[in-house]
DNA sequence: TGACATCTTCTACATCTGTAGTAGAATGCT
DNA sequence: AGCATTCTACTACAGATGTAGAAGATGTCA
């Protein structure tokens, strides 16, 4: 499932708080995003159609909530990026991040710790 | 500069070998990609238009070569993904990769080494 | 020099995306 | 009950994208 830029905005709002009404989403979108209410409704309708969001009518108002989880969306997005731009593998992608982005000392430590933590978890299985 | 999916295919070919003719690119695209010759030309024209590729006429045939580097394209793509899906920062993105993707032992070692190498390089500056 | 092969440039067109207006239904307030 | 507010459903429309055909220009080989 591929999300468009505009759809990510909506999903990010939804993941942050749901169920949510279109109105509520409108209020919680980043301030730079100034969409007409109906724009949001259109995007939500498209998301429902593609199965990323579920819609529940309460009275005359729809409540929306994510079906696609943030984690899966992220996984998909990374996978697609890896395929498209990093020879299909995460390794090169991570190397690129490590080598290209200037990591601060603490970010590095952070990562080292994260990797080691995973490592322990793995071993204790 | 944002590349579309189809444009990435072309750029990946071009980065792998350039200057290249449209015909040459056609031959080196992954076998699953079966585009008409003119499709490739259209995409190249669009890439030239957006300044990602340079075109040089040799006789009646065009030679193409990248202007946008692979490194920059990757950087941009990652930045956009981070903005869209990872709260705008690389940290969460890397954490996600480390925690979500099952890394093999050797991949982990590999990363640890890469991080440490960066670290030394940093310190020796 | 003529017939083919190959290039290039234009044009085309369906689908997807971003963005929103209109109109009718439901709800709420007085 | 009547008017204002707010929803939803439907329609619209321009620009981006994927994909390619048509036709004319150029090169090539016998």
| Residue in chain A nearest B4 by alpha carbon | A84
Question: Cα(B77)–Cα(B2) distance, rounded to whole angstroms?
Answer: 7
Does residue A19 have a cis peptide bond before it, meaning omega lies within 30 degrees of 0? yes
pTM of the model: 0.93
**Residue spans of beta strands (DSSP E) within chain A:** 53-58, 61-66
Which nucleotide lies nearest residue B58, CA to C1'?
C7
Greatest CA span in chain A, whole angstroms?
54
Give me the pLDDT at residue A100, please: 87
Over residues B92-114, the pLDDT tens digits come to 999 999 998 888 888 888 888 98
Question: Cα(B38)–Cα(A125) distance, rounded to whole angstroms?
Answer: 55
| Contact list, B82 vs chain A (CB under 8 Å) | none
Question: Any bridge partners for residue B64, and if so which?
Answer: B20, B55
Which residue's CA lies closest to nucleotide D18 at its C1' atom?
B6
Residue B40 CB in 7 A reach of strand D: no
Q: Is B33 on the interface with A (CB under 8 A)?
A: no
Q: Is B115 on the interface with A (CB under 8 A)?
A: yes
Give me the pLDDT at residue A104, please: 85
Phi then psi dihedrals of residue A87, to 5 deg: 55, 30
Whether the pLDDT of residue A122 is over 80: the answer is: no
The shortest CB-CB distance from B97 to any of A8, A94, A119 is to A94
Over residues B12-57, the pLDDT tens digits come to 999 999 999 999 999 999 999 999 999 999 999 999 999 999 999 9
Q: Output the six-digit token pair for A27.
A: 């209020």
Question: Cα(A64)–Cα(A22) distance, rounded to whole angstroms?
Answer: 8
Q: Is B11 exposed, middle or buried (0-12, 13-18, 19+ CB in 10 A)?
A: buried
């Amino acid at each position: 499932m591929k999300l468009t830029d505009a759809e990510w905005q909506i999903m990010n709002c939804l993941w942050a708080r749901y169920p949510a009404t279109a109105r509520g989403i409108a209020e919680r979108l980043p301030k730079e995003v100034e969409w007409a209410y109906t724009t949001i409704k259109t995007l939500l309708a498209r998301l429902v159609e593609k199965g990323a969001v579920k819609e529940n009518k309460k009275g005359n108002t729809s409540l929306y909530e994510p079906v696609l989880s943030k984690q899966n969306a992220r996984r998909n997005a990374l996978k697609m990026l890896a395929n498209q731009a990093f020879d299909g593998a995460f390794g090169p992608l991570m190397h690129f991040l490590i080598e290209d982005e200037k990591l601060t000392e603490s970010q590095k430590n952070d990562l080292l710790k994260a990797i080691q933590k995973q490592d322990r978890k793995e071993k204790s299985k």
